[in-house]
Chain A
Amino acid sequence: MDINLTLLTQAIGFGLFIWFTAKFIWPPLMRAVESRQKQIADGLAAGEQGRQSLASAEKRIAEMIAEAKSKAGEIVATGEKFRSETMDQAKVEARAEGERIIAAAKAEIQQEVARAREQLRNQVADLAVEGASKILKREVDAKAHADLLAAIRSEL
């Protein structure tokens, strides 16, 4: 165990190796390691973000589906309501129309009846006048007995 000049040369060599490591080995290697760590961290963060956005998208989809369902229900209900309303209205209108037609028909019938009656009346009056003139064998002055004839007519 003798100390000699080797001590100095070894110390210089060690110093050179330290310099070499600190200059050429450590920084690039740590850079690589650190940038990989960052990449991995970023990847994990992106994955987490993706999962979160997927969850929120799923939530939004569920909301949209629920909304669409309720809207569809509303539309169906409105349609139903509209249908029943229009049907009721149609019924009412049809009834009114029917009643109107019936009333018109009745009025026409009555008119027809009145006209027929009038005609009949005239004919009866003429017949009666003719019969009476035949019986009396003489001309009845239609003009002179107009009042009488009118009275008979209104009695018929």
Chain B
Amino acid sequence: MSVTYDSPTEYIGHHLTFLTHRLDAGGFWTLNVDTMLASAVIGVLAFGFMWLVTRKATSGVPSKTQAFVELSVDFVNNEVKSIYTGSNKLIAPIALTTFVLTLFMNAMDFLPIDIVSGGLHAIGFQKFRYVPTADVNTTFALAFEVFGISIFFAIKAKGLGGWVRELFCAPFGASPFLWPFNLLFNCVEYVSKTLSHSLRLFGNMYAGELIFLLLGLLGATGIAGVIFGAVLHLGWSIFELLIVILQAYIFMMLAAVYIAMAYEHH
């Protein structure tokens, strides 16, 4: 079951290669099977667990599991309430989904990469990256979806005409001379919001994964390297704990803020 590598480059390269399935010509028409599989399993487990708790939910004295789920739901609800006070009932569930999904996807980073990879190797997966948020496709998908939802709610709240008007008339002014500048500014804002939203999460998780790999390389340098690597690994894991939760929180908050901004009138 042990896998041997000839060089550090091969080791890192191997761990950072997606398990892909080519459709048609490849290129864009490729599926990252590992990311899809991991996120699907994580999502089904996380939301299935919450659903099971919800089914047995009682308004009386809650069980410990129910209290735990309620605590996280209440946390998200309060955060969303502090951002958005309107009547849209969907923002809070969207924020909860975002938070739970990104949190558990990020948390996959804690699994010891070489042990899990060895196990996956043994059952036939040569390459398998199981941290979905370290795949830019996942974070872009989440960010684009949030972007799409915010546009949808903006049009719903202001009407298509109102939204297009704001695209041309805000923030500089309604004069026809300023229309191109307004449009350009709004486009830059939308693109930068979505890009920063997705790349922040991706960068953090990718870097975290990479540092675990680099610390894993220390294990190849002998006994002292193994001990030193283990200590550093522990330190980085503790730090990563903070990053995982913080990034999930930031992602959730930004999603809620962007969607709530759809209701702002300029």
Contacts and interface: CB of A to CB of B under 8 A. Distances in A.
Interface of A: 1-11, 13-15, 17-18, 20-22, 24-26, 28-33, 35-36, 39
Nearest to B132: A10
Given A17-B101, A25-B93, A10 B36 contact: yes
Interface in B123-173: 132, 135-138, 140-142, 144-145
B94 interface: yes
Interface string B30-64: 11100110011001000100110111011110100
B141 A10 contact: yes
Q: Which of A1, A15, A30 has the most CB of B within 10 A?
A: A30
A14 to B, nearest CB: 5
Interface string B203-236: 0000000000000000000000000000000000
Interface residues of B, number: 48
B113 interface: no
A50 B43 CA distance: 49
Contact of B30 (A4, A10, A17, A22): A4
19 contacts: A1-B136, A5-B23, A6-B137, A8-B141, A10-B39, A10-B132, A10-B138, A13-B39, A17-B43, A20-B51, A21-B50, A21-B94, A21-B97, A26-B92, A28-B55, A28-B57, A29-B54, A30-B77, A33-B59
A60 to B, nearest CB: 36
Nearest to B92: A26
Please list the 7 inter-chain residue pairs (A to B) with the smallest Cβ-Cβ separation, ordered nearest first. Answer: A10-B141, A22-B93, A6-B137, A35-B59, A11-B141, A26-B93, A6-B32
Given A7-B137, A11-B144, A30-B77, A21 B39 contact: no
Q: Which of A25, A31, A36 has the most CB of B within 10 A?
A: A25
Given A29-B73, A30-B77, A17 B97 contact: yes
B47 A7 contact: no
Contacts, number: 123
A6 B93 contact: no
Contacts of A10: 35-36, 39, 132, 137-138, 141-142
Contacts of B73: 26, 29-30, 33
A1 B210 CA distance: 14
A18 B96 CA distance: 8
Given A14-B101, A30-B73, A4 B31 contact: yes
B50 A15 contact: no
B27 interface: yes
The secondary structure that dominates the B interface is helix
Interface string B71-84: 00110010000000
Contacts of A39: 59-60
A42 to B, nearest CB: 12
Contacts of B144: 7, 11
A3 B28 contact: yes
Contacts of B142: 10-11, 14
Nearest to A24: B51
Given A9-B141, A15-B145, A32-B57, 4 more contacts: A2-B30, A6-B137, A21-B93, A29-B70
B96 A6 contact: no
Nearest to A12: B141
Contacts of B5: none
Contact of B40 (A13, A18, A30): A13
A21 B132 CA distance: 20
Contacts of B261: none
Nearest to B135: A6
B177 interface: no
Contacts of A32: 57-59, 62, 66, 70
